[in-house]
Each structure stands twice: as C-alpha cells, then as structure tokens.
Chains A and B, each alone.
Chain A
Amino acid sequence: MNRAIVVVSTLLFIAGSVSAQKMTEMYIPIGHSPGLSGKFTTLGKVTSVNVPAKMVTCTYGADSIEIKVTPRTIIWLDKSGIKQPNQIGTFADCSIGRTIEVKYVNNARSDGGEAEWIKVQISGPQ
C-alpha cells in the first residue's frame, strides 16, 4: 500500500491536535501555572473591554496587548487570594482594573490572539 495513503489513513483515527484537557488548571492561582506562567502567558491588568468584538486589552508593564475571547475560551475566577473556591467566570468578569492571566491557543501570543483560558483575580467580595 502506498505509504502516503497509510499515513493519511492513520491520521484519521489518531487524536487530533486539540489542546489537552487541563481542568485542574482552574485551581492554580494566577501566575503559578507550571511551565506556562512567565513563559507563554500574559499577566496584567484589564485596561479596556470591547464587548461587541469580545476583545480585552491587557496592560503589563509599559506594554499592552489585545486578546480575543471566543466561545471556546474558558474563564476562571481566581479567588484563592481571599481563601474562597475558584469558579467558572464569564466575559463580563473581565472588567477594567482587574488582574488577569491569559493563555493563548497553541501558546501563540500575539496582538489580537485568541485566548484558550483567562484567569481573573478576584480580590474582594463581588
């Protein structure tokens, strides 16, 4: 059998390149994700939100970056700082002034890049 056909056929039933399920990530505080924080994520403050376009601008240091939130983006509320259980959040939780950490799809960090997950720090009662 032609080798190319074999390879293509093989790929049909091998796991695709979807990102791994990492649901315990929900409980890891902002800035502490092993192998990601400080390397592939952005950690900063929300400085503007474009609700219709589902875009968030995050400022870190002297720089800022726009992040695209899609229906596949998972948003978590990091309440570990106030000793409360972390929760699933929504786009509305990405409000101006809040600290967030963003991991990009395929670690492709770029302006306007798609977020795989966003952690939103909750530092007081909502």
Chain B
Amino acid sequence: MGRSTYAFAFLMALLLASFPSCHTPPPPPVDPRDALIEKGRDIFFTETFNGNGRTCGTCHPAENNFTLDATFIGSLPRDNPLFVAEFNPALKENFENPRLMREFGLILENLDGFDDLANEFVMRGIPHTVSLSTSVASPKGPRTGWSGDGSPGDGSLRSFATGAVIQHFTKTLNRIPGVDFRLPTDDELDALEAFQLSLGRQSELTLPLRLKGTIARRGQELFMDSTVGKCNLCHVNAGPTALFGGNSLGNANFNTGVEALPDQPARLTPENVPTDDGFGRPGDSTFNVPPLVEAASTGPFFHNNAIETIEGAVAFYDGESFNNSPAGRFLRNIDPEGAGIELDGTQIVEIAAFLRVLNALESVRLATDALKASISDKVRTKEQAKELLRTAVSQLQTGVRVLSEGRLHPNAVQSLLKATQIVLAALEHGHDKDLIKKALDEANQARSDMIEP
C-alpha cells in the first residue's frame, strides 16, 4: 500500500469520526434477565398450552391490574375464553359456575382434589400477581394463591403455572396431559416466573410516609397504631408480612374469620358454595396475608370476593367475624386493655383513604417508570414503546380511579387526567419525547400533591 493510500484512509477515518451522527450507535446489549422477562410476558399473554383457549392473562389481564372483577368481566365479549364453560360442552358442568363468575368474579378451584367434582370445590376470587417478589417468600416455604398453597411440585411460584394449566386450561375434565393441554416446559416456567416477579414493587415501603392529605395522614396513624387500627402488625409497611413482639413471621397465614362472614354475596344465591377450608388438605381455615399497597385497585376483597370496597374491607376488621376469629382473639389477648379492633365510621374511611393514596402513589410510580422507559435507549421497537405507554395509561387511570372513588386529592386527579390525555395523544400521533416529558411533569405534580418530597 502506498503512502498516498494511507493518507487517504487516515483522512477518511478522520472524516467519519467528525460526523458521529452519520452512523447510529449500536443499541445496548440485551440483558439476559430482561430477555427472560420478555419471553415470560409473551407466554403469559399469548400461550394457551394447547388447551381451551385461556392464557394466564385471561384471568390476570394487565389492563385490569392483573385481576378480575365483575365490571371488567362484563366488558368482555361472549366468546372470551374466560367463559369457556358457557360454550364448550365438555366443560359445562363442574368446571366453572358461570353465574358466580359473571356476578361476583369468582372462579372454581378443586383445591382438595378431583375425586368429587360436583361437591368438592371452592369458589375464589382472582388474586392479582403484582409485587409477588415481596409476598411469595415465607419462612415456612413459598406462599402462592389465596391460601398460600396453590402450587403443585415444589410449591413455588415457578411451579404455579403447571397447576394453573391443569386446573384452568383443560379442554375436558379428563385433564390428560398431551390431549387436553400440554404442560409448560422448564424454560417456560423459568420465563413465567421471571415475568411475574418483575411486576410491581420489588421492595417494601418504609412507613410512615410524609403524606399531605389530612384524612390519609390520619388513616396512616390509625393503620400504624398497634392499639387502635393494629393493621401494621400483620401488614408491616402495608406489605404481606407480620411482625409480633419484634419477631417477623414473614408472609404468614391466619384464620381471620372471613368464612364466617354473614351474607356473603355468593351465598345469597341458590348456587352451591362449599366452605373454603384454606391451607392444606384437609384445610386449617387459614389464608395468606396479601400486600395492601395495591389493594384499593384490586378488589373485590378476600379469597371469596366477599366485600366489594376497600372501606368495607377495612370495616371487616371492626366486625364480629374477625374479632371472634382465632386471629381476632389473639389480637385481643395481646392488647394491654384486652381490646380487639374497634373502629368508628370516620376511622374506617380514614384508613381506607390512606390505602387509596398508597395505591395512587404506587400507580404514579409505575406510570412514571413506564414513561421514562419508553424514551430510554433500552426500547428497541415502536411496539415496545407503545406497550410501555399503554402500561402508563393503565396506571394513570388506576390512580384516577382509586382517588376519585374516595373523593381524595382532586388536584392530583386533574393532573393524572391531563397526563393520561397526553400519553393517549402520544400513542395516537406517534412517540414524541416532548409529549412524554409533559406527561411526566403532570405525574410528578400529582405525586407532589399527595406527598412531601
């Protein structure tokens, strides 16, 4: 190679280096964990496992905070696979109870076995799958589902999908693997677990928060007061773990007397609703403690969807069913005055308001994270960006709903509504960073209306 050729090559190199905009920088490498989560997301929402058409997302839809309620169910088309018992003759009997599903959001589970399908079952709500990384681990082993034992195999969240496919995805009640469904592979279980663990909070809050609202702030005081609300004993930092006498019990099970509630909605119908005996076989009447941060947006409440509103759920602990239960009696026994939980109407609303604000703050956090991610260099496709914007819309709307239903923080509600409109415009007219930044400003404004910096 001659000297002039070297000189030309050197000049070209200089030229290229002086125009960095001429070549797009390579995207950052894909984090293997992110790839696994993405794979899990795809399986969760699209994989039917050769079954009756249901996916995990059928009962845990992202657009409804990964749970079901009667209102959402009512919005679904008649041929949605959730209603498979209504149009698949092989599943007409003893697979679901369509009336209880449509009226109360209840699904059928054969938790004590499949020997007597007509009589041996329970009717349960759909627990959300958010913040599972804070609620599955327990000193006594993993806790999945309402009673903490919803998983076959080793009982882990990873194994949960296998049981769910057998229970809910089957084409017939024969439940023959390879005929009525296929079982998830090890790789699919890994991916599903990674996706589910990625949802929502990855750590607990630290209470008390510096809340601005008078009612929510008082609600927080009552929540944390171990002589009044006593909520923080079993829901430390509004999470799923219990702490007594300085000893953490982790994510424990308790018999709180929910099954003893009078006038449970499903039992007001002529339908057969057997007693739910909770954990174990035969059951010991205990159920697992759920986190409360996301509670206000994920009702109805308790394993049997017995109570529709968060105010009603708080009021449950002031009632006879709870105070006469083993858990209620225990709280009375350790109270210096021998008192159970006694709350007046104002206090019930205040604790519920606190939970509503906690939920709204979490929704704003998730929306903010999604908006920021949508304009980050981690996003590789337009569809990924749109998915993040849809998540942001869903979370902003959740924030609006939980605050509005409690008539709380009207200014924050207006900011969240504005943010929602902006993100919807960004979805419609193309991904615009300026629009996303405006939406972030509104979300931040909503947050600062609810809590001190």
Chain A interface (Cβ < 8 Å from any Cβ of B) = 1, 3, 6-7, 9-10, 12-29, 32-37, 39-40, 79-80, 83-86, 88
Contact = CB atoms under 8 A, between A and B. Distances in A.
A23 B153 contact: no
Contacts, number: 142
Q: Is the interface of A mostly helix, strand, loop or mixed?
A: loop
A14 B286 CA distance: 7
B309 to A, nearest CB: 27
Nearest to B160: A34
A35 B114 contact: no
6 contacts: A3-B247, A7-B245, A10-B244, A13-B329, A25-B153, A37-B153
A6 B246 CA distance: 10
Given A22-B155, A32-B183, A80-B177, 20 more contacts: A6-B245, A7-B244, A9-B333, A10-B244, A10-B245, A10-B330, A12-B330, A13-B286, A13-B326, A23-B114, A24-B110, A28-B152, A28-B166, A28-B183, A33-B154, A34-B156, A34-B189, A83-B179, A84-B174, A85-B175
A20 to B, nearest CB: 3
B323 interface: no
Interface string B387-410: 000000000000000000000000
Contacts of A24: 110, 152, 162-163, 166-167
B153 A86 contact: no
Contacts of B278: 15
A22 B249 contact: no
Interface string B144-175: 00011101111110110011001100000011
Contact of A21 (B149, B174, B246): B149
A60 to B, nearest CB: 20
Interface string B95-115: 000000000000000111111
B249 A14 contact: yes
Nearest to A107: B154
B245 A15 contact: no
A62 to B, nearest CB: 27
B163 A22 contact: yes
A27 B166 contact: yes
A34 B141 contact: no
Q: Is the interface of B mostly helix, strand, loop or mixed?
A: loop
B112 A15 contact: no
Contact of A22 (B151, B176, B177): B151
Contacts of A36: 153-154
A20 B136 CA distance: 14
Given A7-B244, A33-B152, A83 B178 contact: yes
B111 A21 contact: yes
Contacts of B281: 21, 23
Nearest to A82: B176
B131 interface: no
A15 B279 contact: yes
A21 B175 CA distance: 18
A15 B111 contact: no
Contacts of B153: 22, 25, 28, 33-37
A34 B113 CA distance: 19
A18 B148 CA distance: 12
Contact of A16 (B167, B186, B284, B329): B284
B252 interface: yes
Nearest to B175: A27
B3 interface: no
Nearest to A40: B154
B330 A13 contact: yes
A58 to B, nearest CB: 20
Nearest to A37: B153
Nearest to B288: A15
B162 A14 contact: no
B334 interface: yes
A26 B110 CA distance: 12
A109 B163 CA distance: 24
Nearest to B138: A15
B244 A15 contact: no
B23 interface: no
Contacts of A88: 115
A16 B284 CA distance: 8
Interface in B175-232: 175-179, 183, 186, 189
Contact of B177 (A3, A14, A19, A28): A28
6 smallest CB-CB distances across A and B, nearest first, come from A35-B154, A20-B149, A6-B245, A15-B253, A34-B153, A13-B326
Contacts of A26: 113-114
A7 B247 CA distance: 7
A118 B189 CA distance: 24
A15 B252 contact: yes
Contacts of B249: 10, 14
A83 B172 CA distance: 13
B327 interface: yes
A112 B154 CA distance: 22
